[in-house]
Homo-oligomer: A and B are copies of this chain.
């Protein structure tokens, strides 16, 4: 299901998505990665991240005409660079930054920038399975003549130019990824939405041609719809900026100024070596994963991916990934999404990620009460094997 279908379904069920009023009768919607988990952290920060916007602010389309991305606010560019330096997850020196309405819009801007009108046929776009289901839709929905979704990178065998999308850590399965096709005519787009300390050990500063990041997953502010791309080549950055100009004449400055504030506060805290958002969120995610693994551990039917212990340069110790999504597998050849739905747990089937129906993607980013009820229901399922068999 997409966001629209989720909203519609939950609305009809007289239910909530943000789980503030979750009851035993409610469906728990864990099929979208709505990142409300960190709300309590931000509440504790009081006014440190508050922004005040007056009536005369941001009236012009332009933000910085000397910048390749002319609608990018200088304070946001600066905050983004400071944060990456503090976390050590990406190289920003001598790179171009392009902002978008979420990283979603930037993904399409990147496709536009890496292709040209007039080719003999659309450029193939591939991604190793299991992949983020929305990529297929984003690539295909207006039936562009510039590019064409070709599915799983592992089985891609067409000649000619192609674009490989690399998501690392991967959505849905949390694994670290590198490009798999590696041919001369290939270009890459790296989606690093989840390459932050709360989700995975930071083991190197990423330095790829086009790297996508988003506020939704880095800080949990999904409603701001604020993403950024770090781009090596100036012409690619210019063309991505052109895409943003044609498709929306830039992006919200209100979101930009707020993101600048939030990212700046995190960067300050990290640089000062004090308590900071990532230290907090890494603990919260690790605790959730520990509880989930505890539930699944005793099961012969269900399993979760295993992640290696790695030294995280940011937290300065060995740690294990605690991804934003749990990629749950059931041993039998059954429809796991349907089984979980029977337990009032809404998840995303593996089938939309190029995997099969034995897998589901479960968001780990919802609020605490929803997460607790999810664990209770999963525990019932794991212990009461008969229920699964009944469904089967």
Q: Are B221 and A248 in contact (CB under 8 A)?
A: no
Complex: chain B residue closest to A66, CB-CB: B11
In angstroms, Cα B225 to Cα A73, docked, is 14
Q: Are B225 and A251 in contact (CB under 8 A)?
A: yes
In angstroms, Cα B230 to Cα A31, docked, is 30
Which listed residue (B112, B216, B243, B248) contacts A101, Cβ 8 A?
A: B248
In angstroms, Cα B70 to Cα A114, docked, is 32
A299 contacts chain B at the CB level, 8 A cutoff: no
Query: Assuming A54-B49, A59-B36, A226-B252, is B3 touching A245 (CB within 8 A)?
Result: yes
Bin the interface of chain A by size.
35 or more
In angstroms, Cα B249 to Cα A2, docked, is 10
A224 contacts chain B at the CB level, 8 A cutoff: yes
Complex: chain B residue closest to A251, CB-CB: B225
In angstroms, Cα B47 to Cα A53, docked, is 9
A42 contacts chain B at the CB level, 8 A cutoff: yes
Integer count of this chain's copies in the complex:
2
Q: Are B248 and A105 in contact (CB under 8 A)?
A: yes
Complex: chain B residue closest to A238, CB-CB: B4
A272 contacts chain B at the CB level, 8 A cutoff: no
A155 contacts chain B at the CB level, 8 A cutoff: no
Complex: chain B residue closest to A143, CB-CB: B145
In angstroms, Cα B248 to Cα A108, docked, is 10
In angstroms, Cα B262 to Cα A71, docked, is 22
Complex: chain B residue closest to A243, CB-CB: B141
A191 contacts chain B at the CB level, 8 A cutoff: no
Question: Which A72-101 residues have C-beta < 8 A from chain B?
Answer: 100-101
In angstroms, Cα B121 to Cα A145, docked, is 13
Q: Are A55 and B43 in contact (CB under 8 A)?
A: yes
8 contacts across the A-B interface (CB closer than 8 A): A3-B245, A42-B56, A50-B52, A50-B53, A51-B53, A144-B145, A223-B250, A255-B255
Q: Which residues of A contact B (CB under 8 A)?
A: 2-4, 6-8, 10-11, 16-18, 32, 34-36, 38-39, 42-43, 45, 47-63, 65-66, 70-71, 100-102, 104-105, 108, 112, 117, 134, 137-138, 141-146, 216, 220-226, 238, 241-243, 245-255, 258, 262
